[in-house]
Amino acid sequence: MFAFLVKRVIQAIIVMLVISVIAFSIQDNLGDPLRELVGQSVSEAERQKLRDKLGLNDPFLVQYWRFLKKALHGDLGTSYFFKRPAAEVILDKLPATLELVFGATIIIVVFSVPTGVFTAIYPMHWLSRFAMGVSIVGISIPVFLTAIMLIYVFAVQLGWLPSFGRGDTVLVYGWSTGFLTKDGLVHLILPCIALSSIILPLFIRLIRAEMLEVLESEYVKFAWAKGLSRRRIWFLHALKNTLLPVITVGGVQIGTLIAYTILTETVFQWPGMGFLFLEAVNRVDTPLIIAYLIVVGLIFVITNTVVDLIYGLVNPTVKLARPHGGGE
320 lies in the binding site for another protein (CB under 8 A): no
118 lies in the binding site for another protein (CB under 8 A): no
**Among 103-111, 116-124, 310-318, 320-328, which window interacts with another protein (CB under 8 A)?**
320-328
Residue (132 or 186) nearer to another protein, CB? 132
**Among 54-62, 106-114, 234-242, 284-292, which window interacts with another protein (CB under 8 A)?**
284-292
**Among 26-34, 88-96, 187-195, 313-321, which window interacts with another protein (CB under 8 A)?**
26-34
Residues in 201-220 at the binding interface with another protein, rule: CB under 8 A: 209, 213
Q: Taking CB under 8 A as the rule, which mask of x and - marks residues 222-261 in contact with another protein?
A: -----------------------------xx--xx-xxx-
327 lies in the binding site for another protein (CB under 8 A): yes
Report the chain's C-alpha Rg in angstroms: 24
Q: Are 263 and 269 in contact (CB under 8 A)?
A: no
Rounded least distance, CB 304 to another protein, Å: 5
**Among 33-41, 54-62, 72-80, 145-153, which window interacts with another protein (CB under 8 A)?**
145-153
Q: What is the 3-state secondary structure (H, E, C) of the chain?
A: CHHHHHHHHHHHHHHHHHHHHHHHHHHHHCCCHHHHHHCCCCCHHHHHHHHHHHCCCCCHHHHHHHHHHHHHCCCCCECCCCCCEHHHHHHHHHHHHHHHHHHHHHHHHHHHHHHHHHHHHCCCCHHHHHHHHHHHHHHHCCHHHHHHHHHHHHHHHCCCCCCCCCCCCEEECCEEECCCCHHHHHHHHHHHHHHHHHHHHHHHHHHHHHHHHHHCCHHHHHHHHHCCCHHHHHHHHHHHHHHHHHHHHHHHHHHHHHHHHHHHHHHHCCCCHHHHHHHHHHCCCHHHHHHHHHHHHHHHHHHHHHHHHHHHHHCCCCCCCCCCCCCC
Q: Which one of 30, 110, 127, 236 is in contact with another protein (CB under 8 A)?
A: 30
Helix axes 273-282, 239-268, angle to 10 degrees: 40
**Among 53-61, 120-128, 132-140, 167-175, which window interacts with another protein (CB under 8 A)?**
132-140
284 lies in the binding site for another protein (CB under 8 A): yes
9 lies in the binding site for another protein (CB under 8 A): no
**Among 42-50, 103-111, 121-129, 140-148, which window interacts with another protein (CB under 8 A)?**
140-148
Residue (177 or 197) nearer to another protein, CB? 197
Q: Which one of 15, 56, 134, 185 is in contact with another protein (CB under 8 A)?
A: 15
Q: Which residues bind to another protein, rule: CB under 8 A?
A: 11, 15, 26, 29-31, 136-137, 139-145, 148-149, 151-152, 155-156, 163, 209, 213, 251-252, 255-256, 258-260, 262-263, 266-267, 277-278, 281-282, 284, 286, 289, 293, 296, 300, 304, 324-328
